[in-house]
């Protein structure tokens, strides 16, 4: 039987195997650029909302990550597609790769009623966090239209996962370039020309994702992919295919969702404390995405390389590829984290409206928080690189359980204790040391160190080698 080709394989003159760094970069760089487009989306939204007021920025911070919790849990079906596609592609089961993508699309559409329910429930959810009335009203205006676009976002996840899984992320990159451009234009139109304010920001985002989903579907059905994958004749939904993407996608989505729930509550604590703490936290979160989100692109390359190696029957090669990915992620995030903190005094004022009386307080707090954020970048890189390589191997349950335990048993209690002064917290049974947003970010540092080391240990343990998705 002829051995299936391995990704990123280079042999030297003696026939020894080496990871071809040029091949890894050829895969990772478009994914890196694609994730960088999400940075542009985040910073664009932050800049536009920053033009409104500090309260609007705080309101965006109150629900920004909470919205993504629903996107990841309900739309996780789209995220699970990449693992299946990568392994089918590695085994040269090309029609199965296309069918898995269609199963992700159908599964994503099935989540539409749940997203509508979540949109309707938004005011009830936000009311539980005791925000200032004006901030609460602005947060509700942002929540509803953003949530109504949830299933469209999941469809886009599914289609982009196909391109990433077969090692052709350049298509994902150009799709997201179009999404970013549409989002910028629609922000100006809906927020200022039509006067929808902060609601216009979320309307623009939902419509831009819809444009991206239609473009991705058109490329997926193009004659080039039809000839290779039979994409036009594998569309019929079947229960087993949809069950498979849900069975893999829900745990896949739950893993980052557990992290994002913690981040959402972390931001809500800062908004609850004061609009200044909330606005500064939102700005720093969006600025640190300059290192975090492109590193996701590097980590996604790990999912593809590990999945394709396992599909080709060589788990030892999967481990070697993962080592390269982990080193790349750690180097990138470590350098960018420190660089962003050094450049903070030039960058932060761009996102703070000078017309508001508390602009100086927001800026000063941002500069302090950027140094704390720089401290955990290396461990966040270990978290991302290990988690996405584990995803490529189908090992999604243990990381989800670990993240859940650390988020709820370490991060949340510590964040609450360090953030709130006595008498101002959500619960009375925890100590309250009153360090404000600085305390909350210190708690995030402790949590990220524990999570990064835990997931790195899981990958190093080799437990993922025992997982077999070949009969799915």
Q: List pLDDT tens digits, range 211-225.
A: 999 999 999 999 999
Give pLDDT tens digits for 376-414. Answer: 888 999 999 999 999 888 888 888 889 889 998 999 999
pLDDT band at 107, cuts 50/70/90?
Answer: very high
Q: Which helix (H) or strand (E) holds 146?
A: helix 133-148
Angle between helices 94-110 and 81-90 (to 10 degrees): 170
For 9, phi then psi, to 5°, come to -95, 130
CA 299 to chain centre: 11
Which is nearest to 267 in space by CA: 403, 400, 369, 148? 369
217 pairs with which residues across the strands?
Answer: none
Residue indicated by tokens 């749940």: 114
Q: 117: which residues sit within 8 A by CB, 6+ positions away?
A: none
Please answer whether residues 330 and 382 qualify as being in contact, where contact means their C-beta atoms are separated by less than 8 angstroms: yes
Token pair of 14, please?
């003696």
Contact call for residues 212 and 156 (beta carbons, < 8 A): yes
Q: Residue 83: CB partners within 8 Å, gap ≥ 6?
A: 165, 248, 252, 303, 307, 391, 392, 394, 469
Q: On the CB side of 2, how many CA atoms lie within 13 Å of its CA?
A: 4
pLDDT value of position 1: 39
pLDDT confidence tier of residue 3, bands split at 50, 70 and 90: low
Give the list of residues 6+ apart from residue 194 with CB closer than 8 angstroms, or none.
Answer: 200
What does the pLDDT look like over 278-317, one tens digit per residue? 889 989 988 888 888 788 888 988 988 998 888 888 899 9
Task: Give the model's pLDDT for residue 2.
Answer: 44
- Mapping DSSP onto H, E and C, the string for 390-415 reads HHHCCCCHHHHHHHHHHHHHHHHHHH
Is there a contact between 166 and 97 (Cβ–Cβ < 8 Å)? yes
Half-sphere exposure of 414 (CA within 13 A, CB side): 19
């Amino acid at each position: 039987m002829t051995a299936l080709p391995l990704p990123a394989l280079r042999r030297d003159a003696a026939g020894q195997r080496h990871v071809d760094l040029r091949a890894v970069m050829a895969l990772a760089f478009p994914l890196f650029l694609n994730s960088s487009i999400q940075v542009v989306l985040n910073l664009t939204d932050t800049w536009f909302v920053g033009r409104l007021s500090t309260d609007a920025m705080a309101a965006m911070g109150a629900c920004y990550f909470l919205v993504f919790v629903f996107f990841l849990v309900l739309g996780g079906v789209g995220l699970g597609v990449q693992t299946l596609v990568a392994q089918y592609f590695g085994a040269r089961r090309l029609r199965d790769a296309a069918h898995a993508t269609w199963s992700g699309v159908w599964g994503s559409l099935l989540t539409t009623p749940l997203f509508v329910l979540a949109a309707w429930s938004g005011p009830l959810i936000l009311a539980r966090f005791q925000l200032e009335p004006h901030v609460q009203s602005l947060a509700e205006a942002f929540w509803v239209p953003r949530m109504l676009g949830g299933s469209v976002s999941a469809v886009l996840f599914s289609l982009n996962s196909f391109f990433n899984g077969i090692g052709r992320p350049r298509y994902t990159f150009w799709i997201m370039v179009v999404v970013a451009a549409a989002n910028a234009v629609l922000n100006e139109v809906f927020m200022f020309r039509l006067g929808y304010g902060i609601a216009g920001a979320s309307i623009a985002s939902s419509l831009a994702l819809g444009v991206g989903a239609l473009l991705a579907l058109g490329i997926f059905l193009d004659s080039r992919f039809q000839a290779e994958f039979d994409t036009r004749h594998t569309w019929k939904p079947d229960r087993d295919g949809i069950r498979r993407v849900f069975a893999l996608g829900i745990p896949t989505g739950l893993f980052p969702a557990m992290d994002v729930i913690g981040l959402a509550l972390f931001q809500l604590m800062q908004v609850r404390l004061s609009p200044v703490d909330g606005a500064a936290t939102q700005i720093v979160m969006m600025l640190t995405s300059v290192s975090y989100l492109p590193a996701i692109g590097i980590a996604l390359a790990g999912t593809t390389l590990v999945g394709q190696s396992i599909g080709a029957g060589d788990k030892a090669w999967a481990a070697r590829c993962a080592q390269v990915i982990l080193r790349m992620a750690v180097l990138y995030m470590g350098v960018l984290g420190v660089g962003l903190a050094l450049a903070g005094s030039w960058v932060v004022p761009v996102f703070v409206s000078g017309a508001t009386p508390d602009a100086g307080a927001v800026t000063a707090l941002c500069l302090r928080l950027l140094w704390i954020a720089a401290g955990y970048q290396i461990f966040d890189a270990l978290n991302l690189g290990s988690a996405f390589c584990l995803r490529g191997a189908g090992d999604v349950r243990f990381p989800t359980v670990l993240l859940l335990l650390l988020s709820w048993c370490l991060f949340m209690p510590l964040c609450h204790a360090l953030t709130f002064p006595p008498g101002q917290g959500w619960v009375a049974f925890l100590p309250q040391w009153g360090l404000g947003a600085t305390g909350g970010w210190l708690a995030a540092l402790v949590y990220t160190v524990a999570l990064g080391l835990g997931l790195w240990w899981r990958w190093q343990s080799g437990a993922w080698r025992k997982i077999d998705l070949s009969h799915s």
